[in-house]
Structure 1
Amino acid sequence: MEMRSGDTIVALSSGTPPSGVAVIRLSGPRVPEILQAVCGGVPEPRRLVLRPIGQDSLLDRGLVAYFPAPHSFTGEDCAELQVHGSPAGVRAILRLLTKLGARLAEAGEFTRRAFENGKLDLVEIEGLGDLLDAETENQRRQALARFEGGLSQRIDAWRHQLLDLRAEIEARLDFSDEGDVADALPDSFGDNILELQADIAAALASAEYGRIVREGIRVALAGAPNAGKSSLLNALARSDIAIVTDEAGTTRDVREVPLDINGQLYVLLDLAGLRDADSKAEAEGVRRARLAIEQADIVLWLSAPDIAEEDDALRRKASLRIGTKGDLGPSGDFDLTVSARSGSGLDALLAAIERLGQELASGEPALISRERDRLALAAAIAALTAAQQQLAAPELAAESLRIASQALERLIGRIDAERVLDRLFASFCIGK
Structure 2
Amino acid sequence: MDTVFATASGRGKAGVTVVRISGPRAWAVVESLAGALPAPRVASLRKLRDRKGDYLDEALVLTFAEGASFTGEQSAELHIHGSMATLAALSRELSEFEGLRLAEPGEFTRRALENGRLDLTQVEALGDLIEAETESQRRQALRVLDGELGRKTEAWRRDLIRAAALIEATIDFADEDVPTDVTPEVLELLTRVQAELEREIAGSFAAERVRDGFEVAIIGPPNAGKSTLLNAFAGRDAAITSDIAGTTRDIVEVRMDLGGLAVTMLDTAGLRSTEDRVEALGIERAIDRARKADLRVFLDVEGEGVDLSPEAGDLVVRAKADLNPPASTDVIGVSGKSGEGVGQLLRMIEERLSTRATSAASAVKERHRVAMTRTVSSLTEATRIVEGESDFAELGAEHIRIALRTLDALIGRVDVENVLDEIFSSFCLGK
SS where residue 19 of structure 1 aligns? coil
Tell me how far 1:48 sits from its aligned partner: 0.8
Name the amino acid aligned to 2:397.
Answer: A
SS where residue 202 of structure 1 aligns? helix
**Corresponding residue number in structure 2 for 1:32:** 27
**Would the alpha carbon gap of residues 281 and 185 (structure 1) be closer, same or farther in structure 2, given more than 3 Å must change?**
same
**Corresponding residue number in structure 1 for 2:135:** 137
**Would the alpha carbon gap of residues 246 and 103 (structure 1) be closer, same or farther in structure 2, given more than 3 Å must change?**
farther
1:161-187, Cα deviation, whole Å (9 max, x unpaired): 11111111123323434x475696443
**Corresponding residue number in structure 1 for 2:263:** 266
**Corresponding residue number in structure 2 for 1:117:** 115
Tell me how far 1:328 sits from its aligned partner: 3.2
**Would the alpha carbon gap of residues 80 and 250 (structure 1) be closer, same or farther in structure 2, given more than 3 Å must change?**
farther
Number of matched pairs: 423
**Corresponding residue number in structure 2 for 1:126:** 124
Structure 2, unpaired ranges of 5+: none
SS where residue 15 of structure 2 aligns? strand
Tell me how far 1:332 sits from its aligned partner: 6.0
Aligned partners of 2:246 and 2:279 also within 8 Å? yes
For 1:10 and 1:283, the matched residues in 2 are separated by 56
SS where residue 322 of structure 2 aligns? helix
Name the amino acid aligned to 2:47.
Answer: P
**Corresponding residue number in structure 2 for 1:3:** none
The CA RMSD measured in Å over matched residues stands at 2.2
**Corresponding residue number in structure 2 for 1:404:** 403
1:59-84, Cα deviation, whole Å (9 max, x unpaired): 22121111121211111111111112
User: Any residues of structure 2 matched to 1:335-374 within 5 Å, and which?
Assistant: 335-362=331-358, 366-374=361-369
1:104-131, Cα deviation, whole Å (9 max, x unpaired): 2111111001001111010111111111
1:86 aligned residue (75, 83, 86): 83
Name the amino acid aligned to 2:212.
Answer: E
**Would the alpha carbon gap of residues 180 and 7 (structure 1) be closer, same or farther in structure 2, given more than 3 Å must change?**
farther
Name the amino acid aligned to 1:321.
Answer: V
Name the amino acid aligned to 2:120.
Answer: L
SS where residue 298 of structure 2 aligns? strand
Structure 1, unpaired ranges of 5+: 1-5
**Corresponding residue number in structure 2 for 1:380:** 375
**Would you say 1:256 and 2:249 are equivalent positions?**
no
Aligned partners of 1:24 and 1:82 also within 8 Å? yes
**Would the alpha carbon gap of residues 93 and 247 (structure 1) be closer, same or farther in structure 2, given more than 3 Å must change?**
farther
**Corresponding residue number in structure 1 for 2:59:** 62
Aligned partners of 1:301 and 1:318 also within 8 Å? no
For 1:138 and 1:330, the matched residues in 2 are separated by 36
Tell me how far 1:236 sits from its aligned partner: 0.7
Name the amino acid aligned to 1:24.
Answer: V
Name the amino acid aligned to 2:407.
Answer: L
**Corresponding residue number in structure 2 for 1:214:** 211
Aligned partners of 1:139 and 1:213 also within 8 Å? yes
Tell me how far 1:304 sits from its aligned partner: 5.1
1:122-177, Cα deviation, whole Å (9 max, x unpaired): 01111111111112111111111100011101100100111111111123323434
For 2:407 and 2:279, the matched residues in 1 are separated by 46
Tell me how far 1:431 sits from its aligned partner: 0.8
**Corresponding residue number in structure 2 for 1:162:** 160
Tell me how far 1:272 sits from its aligned partner: 1.9
Aligned partners of 1:300 and 1:318 also within 8 Å? no
**Would you say 1:231 and 2:231 are equivalent positions?**
no
1:292-313, Cα deviation, whole Å (9 max, x unpaired): 22122211012457xx733433
Question: 183-192 or 386-395, which moves further after superposition?
Answer: 183-192
Aligned partners of 1:61 and 1:83 also within 8 Å? yes
For 1:126 and 1:381, the matched residues in 2 are separated by 23
Tell me how far 1:19 sits from its aligned partner: 1.5
**Corresponding residue number in structure 2 for 1:423:** 422
1:314-348, Cα deviation, whole Å (9 max, x unpaired): 25767122233333354566832222223222211
Name the amino acid aligned to 1:354.
Answer: E
**Corresponding residue number in structure 1 for 2:38:** 43
Aligned partners of 2:313 and 2:352 also within 8 Å? no
Aligned partners of 1:320 and 1:335 also within 8 Å? no
For 2:226 and 2:23, the matched residues in 1 are separated by 55
Aligned partners of 2:270 and 2:283 also within 8 Å? yes
For 2:48 and 2:291, the matched residues in 1 are separated by 59
For 2:55 and 2:227, the matched residues in 1 are separated by 57
Aligned partners of 2:7 and 2:20 also within 8 Å? yes
Tell me how far 1:252 sits from its aligned partner: 3.1
SS where residue 328 of structure 1 aligns? coil
Name the amino acid aligned to 1:349.
Answer: L
Question: 214-223 or 200-209, which moves further after superposition?
Answer: 200-209
1:77-103, Cα deviation, whole Å (9 max, x unpaired): 111111122122112211211122422
Name the amino acid aligned to 1:424.
Answer: I
Name the amino acid aligned to 2:241.
Answer: V
Aligned partners of 1:172 and 1:183 also within 8 Å? no
Query: Normalised by the size of structure 1, how large is the TM-score?
Result: 0.91
Aligned partners of 1:190 and 1:388 also within 8 Å? yes
For 2:231 and 2:324, the matched residues in 1 are separated by 21
**Would the alpha carbon gap of residues 95 and 284 (structure 1) be closer, same or farther in structure 2, given more than 3 Å must change?**
farther
Question: 204-213 or 122-131, which moves further after superposition?
Answer: 204-213
SS where residue 249 of structure 2 aligns? coil
Aligned partners of 1:53 and 1:59 also within 8 Å? yes
Aligned partners of 1:45 and 1:68 also within 8 Å? yes
SS where residue 314 of structure 1 aligns? coil
1:189 aligned residue (164, 183, 186): 186
For 1:318 and 1:65, the matched residues in 2 are separated by 54
Query: Normalised by the size of structure 2, how large is the TM-score?
Result: 0.91
SS where residue 401 of structure 1 aligns? helix
